[in-house]
Amino acid sequence: MKKILFCGLLTVVGVVTTVIQPTFAQTTQGSSSLTITALDEKNPRIYEANNLNFGIQNKGESNTKFQATEDLVIKIFDQRLVPGDWQLQVKIGKLETLDGQQLANPKLSIGEGTFVSDDGAGMQTYNFSSESMQVYQSILSSEAGHSRGWAEYQVPKEKISLSFGEQAASGKYTATNYWRVINAEP
Q: What is the pLDDT of residue 10?
A: 42
* Domain range summary for the chain, segments of one domain joined by +: 45-183
Which of 57-66, 117-126, 155-164, 177-186 has the least mean pLDDT?
Answer: 57-66
Q: What is the pLDDT of residue 9?
A: 40
| Averaged pLDDT, 58-74 | 82
The model carries a pTM of: 0.71
pLDDT class of 12 with cuts at 50, 70, 90: very low
**SS in 3 state form for the chain?**
CHHHHHHHHHHHHHHHHHHHCCCCCCCCCCCCCCCCCCCCCCCCEEEEECCCCCCCCCCCCCCCCEECCCCEEEEEEECCCCCCCEEEEEEECCCECCCCCECCCCEEEECCCEEECCCCCCEEECCEEHHHCCCCEEEEEECCCCCCEEEEEEECHHHEEEECCCCCCCCCCECCEEEEEEECCC
pLDDT in tens, 155-178: 999 999 998 877 778 889 999 999
| Averaged pLDDT, 64-81 | 87
The larger pLDDT score, comparing residue 113 to residue 134, is at: 113
Q: Is the pLDDT confidence value at 138 over 80?
A: yes
User: What percent of the chain is predicted at pLDDT more than 70?
Assistant: 69
Pick the CATH number of 45-183 from 1.20.120, 2.60.40, 2.40.160, 2.70.98: 2.60.40
